[in-house]
Structure formats: structure tokens, C-alpha cells
Structure 1
Amino acid sequence: MIVEIRTYTCRVGSVPLFLEAYEKEGLPLQREYLGEPIGWFVSEVGSLNEVVHLWRFEDMADRETRRAAMQQDERWRTFLRSMAASNHLISQESSIYRPTSFSKMQ
């Protein structure tokens, strides 16, 4: 099992607008292809205007297969274009982690 941690940095004041658009359009599509996310979080202390979300996959091949299928969906490509046009995001970062042998999450 692996966990993908994605961090989006939004423009000041854009977090609520980004989350509203994502919840309506992006989340239903991602759930269709990627399953239920582990969680979504916003920063309160430290680096502000960040949105972090976590996704669970069986392995890198599972992640690649599911994300490739989503990328082929015209609805997802339309959503990405609308997000780019909205100019809410400054940057995106993605990290992949695997659990330790003693982790409760396997």
C-alpha cells in the first residue's frame, strides 16, 4: 500500500473558492476513479493557504492505472481547464509514502 500526499498552495483568499469548485466538480470525478480519499485538510498554522489531500493506492501500478483512466475522461480535463482559468492555485506538490512495518495502516 502507498499513500499519495498532494499539497496545493492557493492564492491568498482563494482557499474557500477552490474548495467550493473542487467539491462540486472535481471530487465526484476523483471518487469515481480513485476511490474515497483518506482525507482533505487546510492549513491553520505554519504555511498558510495550503490544501492537503491524501489518497490510498495498492501500489504505484494501481495509482498509475487509476489516474490514467481519470485523465482520459473529458469531464476531468474540462475541470482541470476551469481550475487553471480560475487562477486559484500557485503550486502543487505530490509525495508518495509507504507505511512502516508497524503502521496501523497497511
Structure 2
Amino acid sequence: MIIEERCYKIRTHLMGEYLRLVREEGLAIQAPILGNLIGYFVTEIGPLSHVVILWGYSDLNDRAARRATLAANKDWQEFTKKLSQCLETMENRILIPTDFSPMQ
């Protein structure tokens, strides 16, 4: 298993709008395609106005195939036009569990 960590800095005063869009539209498009949502978090201490999303995949090929399917989805393409207005920066990392991690 690999975990994709996506970290978004949300524009000032747009966190509520961002979360509303994801809750009401985004997850319904993403979840059936990407599959394994591990968690969706907002920051409370440290750098504020950040969202961290964790998606699980069996391997990098699984991730690539699922992300390509999502990118080609017309509903997703329209949705990201709305969502991108809330984003200031985006970061992405691939996390690989150690052999002693509870998640493997």
C-alpha cells in the first residue's frame, strides 16, 4: 500500500466554501474513482487554513490509473474550476509505509 498526502492551503476566509464544495459535490465524484479515502483533515495548530487529504492505493500503478480516470471525468473537470478558486497552494507527497507500520 502507498498513501498519497495532498496538502492544500486555502485562501483566507474561503475554508467554509472549500469544505462545502467538497462535502456537497467533490467527494461524490472522487470517492467512487479513487476508492480508499483514509482521512480528510483541517489544521488547528501550526500553519492555519490547510487541508490534508490522505488517499490509499495498492501501488503507484493503481494510483496513476485512478488519477487518470478522475482527470478525464467531465464532472470532475467542471468541479475543479469551482474548487480552484479556493486554493492558494497545493502540495502532494507519496508516503510508503515502513515494514513495522500498522498500515501496510
TM surpasses 0.5: yes
Instruction: Map 1:1-106; keep pairs closer than 5 Å.
Output: 1-84=1-84, 87-106=85-104
- Give me the identity figure in percent: 39
Q: Distance in 1 between matches of 2:8 and 2:52?
A: 6
Q: How many residues end up aligned between the 2 structures?
A: 104
Q: Which amino acid aligns with 2:95?
A: Y
TM-score by length of 1: 0.94
TM-score by length of 2: 0.96
Q: Which amino acid aligns with 1:50?
A: H
State the Cα RMSD in Å.
Answer: 0.8
By how many angstroms is 1:61 displaced? 0.4
Question: What residue ranges of structure 1 are gaps of 5+ in the alignment?
Answer: none
Question: What residue ranges of structure 2 are gaps of 5+ in the alignment?
Answer: none
